[in-house]
């Protein structure tokens, strides 16, 4: 029995190594990794009205999936959905207003999504806010909002959509964290803390899925450096510009276009 189990483990290991070797070989000839067929996927993106969330929506919309865009900015979120539907000549992109600081709002929006579109197969927890002030200058309300949006909302979203993924042993959970979730930085105490928590939540959940043998549910945590989005551009005009050099995650400092290559763990 022991020999049989060892043999099975070696076969699994060989399969994993071969899969990654083939993917790298394919990428070396095509200059890009093979793309998964997303035609049947239902993907939720939070914070999709601008910045990185909008960039992700633009990229995914071209791949044939159904997109659910959540944002508290109802006007710009609807504009993004309309632009993408026009660009793709489809009606696959849907905008919904959702306040991620409100647990009941999240649960209600999740209920509507499930009733109208079915089970979400990919969650991209992207929405984020940053204050960019020394800790003592951050109001209690701003600290609470930072944690509500950057990590607490992840719990409610996962509790709403993860059960169907567990039932089907299928899905993908993507956490857009930050380089600030890997190292601390002055002027970002609340933000770094919330992103460290998001990374911790994601990695612990990844281990939990492994223990539950839910190998069909994939997880990816993304830790970009400073990105060329509105929230950071506004802060770069103030005290946070000097912090960029401290968070040198990608080997370069300053701002990156929202769709540049990210540092992440999968």
**Mean per-residue pLDDT, 62-85:** 96
Catalytic residue among 10, 107, 170, 191: 191
For the chain, the domains span: 1-34, 37-265
Look up 210 and say whether it is catalytic. Answer: no
Instruction: Find all residues with CB under 8 Å of 17, minimum gap 6, and list them.
Output: none
CA dist., res. 152 & res. 143, Å (int) = 12
Position 242 confidence tier, pLDDT thresholds 50, 70, 90:
very low
CATH superfamily of 37-265: NAD(P)-binding Rossmann-like Domain (3.40.50.720)
Token digits of residue 45? 């993106």
Please list the residues that pair with 122 across neighbouring strands. 43, 172
| pLDDT beyond 50 at 254 | no
How many of the other CB atoms lie within 10 Å of CB of 195? 25
205 with 219: CB under 8 angstroms?
A: yes
Euclidean distance between CA atoms 219 and 221, whole angstroms? 7
pTM of the model: 0.76
């Amino acid at each position: 029995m022991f020999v049989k189990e060892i043999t099975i483990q070696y076969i699994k290991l060989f399969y994993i190594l071969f899969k990654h070797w083939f993917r790298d070989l394919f990428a070396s000839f095509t200059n890009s990794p093979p793309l998964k067929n997303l035609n049947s996927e239902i993907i939720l993106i939070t914070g999709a009205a601008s910045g990185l969330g909008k960039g992700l929506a633009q990229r995914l919309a071209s791949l044939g999936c159904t997109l659910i865009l959540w944002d508290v900015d109802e006007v710009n979120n609807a504009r993004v959905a309309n632009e993408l539907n026009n660009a793709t000549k489809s009606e696959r992109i849907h905008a919904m207003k959702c306040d991620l600081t409100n647990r009941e709002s999240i649960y209600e929006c999740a209920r509507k999504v499930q009733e109208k579109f079915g089970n979400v197969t990919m969650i991209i927890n992207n929405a984020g806010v940053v204050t960019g002030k020394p800790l003592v200058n951050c109001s209690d309300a701003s600290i609470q909002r930072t944690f509500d949006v950057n990590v607490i909302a992840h719990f409610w979203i996962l509790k709403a959509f993860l059960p169907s993924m567990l039932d089907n042993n299928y899905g993908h959970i993507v956490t857009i964290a930050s380089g600030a979730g890997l190292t601390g930085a002055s002027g970002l105490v609340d933000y770094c803390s919330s992103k460290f928590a998001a990374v911790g939540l994601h990695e612990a959940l990844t281990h939990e899925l492994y223990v539950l043998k839910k190998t069909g549910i994939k997880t990816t945590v993304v830790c970009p450096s400073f990105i060329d989005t509105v929230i950071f551009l506004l802060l770069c005009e103030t005290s946070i510009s000097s912090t960029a050099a401290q968070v040198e995650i990608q080997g370069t400092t300053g701002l990156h276009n929202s769709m540049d290559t990210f540092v992440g763990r999968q």
